């Protein structure tokens, strides 16, 4: 449904993360290599990052390739904690800036790669859009990032067909889940990247098993299995 990535480490330009790699999010907008659902990601994009201690975000409902303004400034914007995404909208969902990840509550960022029935999510005035991803983000923000694994299990119990790959960040760490789609991790001397699919052919990329909670801190990467939920009675 979407492609997303995150970076935690030494500050890098947004262009080096989003635009310049040979299979960057820009390329994945029209030619993803490992996408299981959908073929292009042209229904919006977004980048959130911390700079000088402040959280900033840039989103658009247009395809990433159609935004030359971002391309002109991305080489000079640098951050050590970034979440970015390109969107493939679920049929029937609105095409609007507020529906593009990453979502925020002003303190954290969250991106969702997947889909979930709206019936499995509570209504929320805090959600930035009526789309499933925005409602899911609002639920995680309400519960707190430390509850992200519990939220995924509970939503999956309510909608067994849900795909719930999430990436969240609070400026100091990354949290992610795999639930029905791909996620890869790359650990380098400069930091750690998480991505729906590798942005290049570096053999250091490794696949994260399905139904896994990922935590990335400056001290390293921790993987914790997520138990399959019991369906509601």
What residue ranges define each of the domains in the chain, with the CATH number in brackets? 2-223 (3.60.20.10)
89 DSSP 8-state letter: P
Pairing status of strand 163-169 against strand 45-51: unpaired
Q: Which residues contact 29 (CB under 8 A, 6 or more apart)?
A: 3, 40, 41, 42, 45, 63, 64, 65, 86
Asked whether the beta carbons of 121 and 135 are under 8 A apart, the reply is yes
What residues act catalytically?
2
- pTM for this entry: 0.95
User: Residues with Cβ < 8 Å from 217, sequence gap 6 or more?
Assistant: 8, 172, 173
Per-residue pLDDT of the chain (233 residues; tens, 9 = 90+): 699 999 999 999 999 999 999 999 999 999 999 998 888 999 999 999 999 999 999 999 999 999 999 999 999 999 999 999 999 987 777 789 999 999 999 999 999 999 999 999 999 999 999 999 999 999 999 999 999 999 999 999 999 999 999 999 999 999 999 999 999 999 999 999 999 999 999 999 999 999 999 999 999 999 999 986 655 55
Please say whether the beta carbons of 123 and 135 come within 8 A: yes
Instruction: Compute the distance between CA of residue 177 and CA of residue 13 in angstroms, rounded to an integer.
Output: 25
């Amino acid at each position: 449904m979407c492609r997303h990535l995150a970076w935690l480490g030494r500050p890098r330009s947004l262009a080096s993360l989003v635009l310049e790699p040979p299979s960057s999010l820009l390329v994945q907008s029209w030619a993803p290599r490992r996408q299981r659902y959908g073929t292009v990601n042209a229904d919006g994009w977004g980048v959130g990052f911390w700079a000088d201690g402040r959280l900033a975000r840039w989103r658009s409902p247009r395809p990433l390739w159609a935004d030359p303004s971002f391309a002109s400034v991305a080489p000079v914007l640098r951050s050590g904690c970034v979440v970015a995404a390109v969107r493939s909208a679920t049929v029937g969902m609105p095409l609007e800036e507020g529906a593009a990840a990453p979502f925020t509550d002003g303190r954290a960022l969250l991106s969702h790669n997947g889909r979930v029935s709206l019936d499995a999510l509570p209504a929320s005035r805090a959600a930035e859009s009526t789309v499933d991803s925005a409602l899911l983000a609002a639920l995680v923000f309400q519960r707190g990032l430390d509850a992200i694994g519990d939220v995924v299990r509970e939503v999956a119990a309510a909608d067994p067909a849900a795909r719930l790959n999430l990436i969240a960040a609070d400026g100091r760490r990354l949290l992610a889940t795999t639930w029905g789609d791909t996620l890869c991790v790359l650990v380098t001397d400069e930091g750690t990247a998480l991505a729906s699919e590798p942005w290049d052919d570096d053999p250091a990329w490794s696949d994260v098993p399905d139904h896994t909670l990922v935590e990335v801190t400056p001290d390293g990467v921790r993987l914790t299995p997520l138990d399959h939920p019991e369906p509601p009675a």
